[in-house]
Amino acid sequence: MIHRFDILVIGSGIAGLSYALKMSQYGSVAVITKKDKAESNTNYAQGGVAAVMSIVDSFDLHVRDTLATGQGISHRDAVEIMVREGPVRLRELISVGARFTQKDGSLDLGREGGHSANRIVHADDLTGREIERALLDAVAERGNVRIFENHVAVELITQHHVSRFREIPRDELQCWGAYVFNTREQRVDAFLARAVMLCTGGAGQVYLHTTNPLIATGDGVAMAYRAGARIANMEFIQFHPTTLFDSGSPSFLISEAVRGFGGILKLQNGQEFMDHYDARKSLAPRDIVAYAIDAELKKRGEEYVLLDLRHLPADEVRGHFPHIYSTCLNRYKIDITAEPIPVVPAAHYSCGGVMVDVDGRTSVKGLFAAGEVSMTGVHGANRLASNSLLEALVFSERAVPVSAEFCRLQESPLPPVQEWDDSGTLNAEEWILVSHNRREIQQVMWDYVGIVRSTLRLQRAARRVELVRNEVEDFYKRTKVTDALIELRNIALCADLIIRSAMDRKESRGLHRTTDYRQQDDSRFLKDTILS
Ligand code: FAD
Ligand code: SIN
């Protein structure tokens, strides 16, 4: 079946919904989303949105903090834009109905690692859920936005899917839509549009331990790469320092805001240790804190460190972190006001992604990207806490006028795209391979491409991932698609992109640390790692 819309948005997190809301004034919008419409990384965001909202803060300070955390390779122009446009976008979000926590009649601004001022706007400790609710409610009021749940994008449609095109120079590639697997009907449809906005979020599921929900399988990066788009900085995977030890999959996050509120990291023997690593101690940026925890665990052969809140007033802890408090108590039987919380790092955020300019354009015409799937240049080698929701808000908005104009200028009808053809494929009996292979890649990435890397470990990971990738590609060609197979194929490709990028960067910078090149090497690596 072929569906036609003016604009196709892939993903219903903060980036996709903010964009769809605004684009609805320019034409018909289809939002396709893998599972339930609220299921996204956005929905689990705890800490909040960083923005300059107080007179004791300044744009210059927020820019400075972001650039310092990015360790030399953030793009200053993108950072300036994000910081300066952030407060306006946040007020718009409030005007469409998002309710953030107030104190004495104004926004209650929290603190997180690497920020030199209180600037985290939050809705208790469930900020993302509130943003998602508000945006979904607002979108529901727009007549010309249609959300397709349980629809998984398989491939972006470019000249490769139109028979009359043969050899295409890379700079002429154009995207006209996507093939999408309807998981209820078990059928692949073509969704055609004049502009396509990729908002598929992160790739945390490439790793065994992650804060990301099951949807975060790097589909957007993988699809864009296969379509010929440029991908950058995939080696910079952020590990969140504090997730609850042994909390299952995904790992339960203990927000950085808890340390911002005064929580202190300690060893199991009760000693503080962060002062050996950074003067900001428990509130140092994430790369430093995650590295410090990892180093202490390896040195001591222990499984977790502790996050201690017992010195803080219990009623205030309960008041500020109601979700974390009640989840720890009810699901994990830990009273965080009375006992220290056992914590470990887990994969959390992909700083790299599909390269875009400051207006969301990718290197493929008609294909735009925003949110975690994109690489705007803001985060560089490490992301400052709570800058992700802000980045998604600012850059999805900037793509609106640009993509609307792009649609307006597309006068000719879309080319004749072929329907999905799965004739000759079978329902193989080796489905068990899919779950085994997914687990194998996650384990390899966790063991060999984690917080501290080495050339030998990366080579080992590359060999193993290549083996699995070949097997998966072969299986993909022979069988009918399923959502599990689509995800596995994308996880395998993203793992490969992460490893290749990590091998290219022969230095240690931000989130990429390797024992073979311990120093930062500005003479050779003060730049993005670009794959295409
Ligand atoms: P997402 O919100 O992840 O949305 C992606 C969407 O794409 C989903 O709807 C998904 O179903 C859909 N999708 C994916 N693949 C496909 C496909 N193939 N076909 C169709 N649909 C698809 N950042 C902050 O700034 N502050 C915080 O406090 C914060 N806390 C966090 C806490 C947790 C536990 C996690 C996991 C992340 C947190 N982050 C935080 C990061 C932040 O939440 C994300 O980076 C941000 O929400 C990404 O938004 P997005 O719109 O780009 O993607
Ligand atoms: C958190 O609440 O610690 C997550 C914040 C973020 O990822 O920016």
Is residue 479 in some structural domain? yes
- pLDDT beyond 80 at 411: no
Active site residues: 286
Q: State the distance from the centre of ligand 2 to the C-alpha of 48, rounded, in angstroms.
A: 7
Closest CA to 179 of 158, 165, 197: 158
- Alpha carbon of 386 to ligand 2 centroid (Å): 6
Tokens of 518: 């311990």
In 3-state terms, the chain is what percent helix, strand and coil (to 5)? 40, 20, 40
Cis bond before residue 250 (omega within 30° of 0): yes
In the chain, the percentage of residues whose pLDDT exceeds 70 is 99
How far is ligand 2, taken at its centre, from the CA of residue 67, in Å?
A: 18
pLDDT of residue 425: 74
Residues 6+ away with beta carbon under 8 Å from 516: 454, 455, 506
In a domain, residue 394? The reply is no
Over residues 472-501, the pLDDT tens digits come to: 999 898 898 999 999 999 999 999 999 999
Ligand 1 atom closest to Cα of residue 487: 18
For residue 432, the enclosing domain spans: 428-531
Number of the ligand 1 atom closest to the C-alpha atom of 37: 9
**333-360, pLDDT tens digit by residue?**
999 999 999 999 999 999 999 999 999 9
Look up the CATH number of the domain holding residue 464: 1.20.58.100
Q: Does residue 319 lie in a domain region?
A: yes
Mind listing the pLDDT tens digit for each residue in 169-222? Answer: 888 899 999 999 999 999 999 999 999 999 999 999 999 999 999 999 999 999
pLDDT at 409: 93
Give pLDDT, residue 422.
83
Q: Are 340 and 433 part of one and the same domain?
A: no
The minimum-distance atom of ligand 1 relative to the CA of 33 is 21
* Domain closes at, from 345, 373, 408: 345
Query: Which residue among 298, 325, 345 closes a domain?
Result: 345
Tell me whether residue 74 is in a domain: no
Q: Tell me how many domains the chain contains.
A: 2
Q: What is the DSSP string of 63-96?
A: HHHHHHHHTT-S-HHHHHHHHHHHHHHHHHHHHT
pLDDT at position 484: 94
93 in any annotated domain: no
Check whether 163 has a pLDDT greater than 70: no
What is the CATH number for 283? 3.90.700.10
Residues with Cβ within 8 Å of 204's Cβ and at least 6 positions away in sequence, in order, are: 41, 210, 211, 212, 216, 250, 347, 348, 349, 350
Number of H helices, E strands in the chain: 14, 24
Q: Give the pLDDT band (50/70/90) at residue 430.
A: confident
Give pLDDT tens digits for 136-146: 999 999 989 99
Q: Could you tell me if the CB of 351 is within 6 A of ligand 2?
A: no
454 domain residue, yes or no: yes
Percent of the residues in the chain that have a pLDDT greater than 90, as a whole number = 91
Domain-located, residue 177: no
Does position 99 have pLDDT exceeding 80, yes or no? yes
**Closest ligand to the CA of 45:** 1
214-223, 413-422, 447-456: the lowest-pLDDT one: 413-422
For a ligand 1 pocket test, name from 200, 320, 481 the mutation site with the most ligand atoms within 8 angstroms of its C-beta. 200
Report the distance separating Cα 93 and Cα 118, nearest Å: 20
pLDDT digits (tens, 9 = 90+) for 30-43: 999 999 999 999 99
For residues 394 and 89, what is the distance between their CA atoms, to the nearest angstrom? 6
Residue 429 pLDDT grade (very low, low, confident, very high; cuts 50, 70, 90): low
CB 386 less than 6 A from any atom of ligand 2: yes
pLDDT at 413: 77
**Residue 487 placed within a domain:** yes
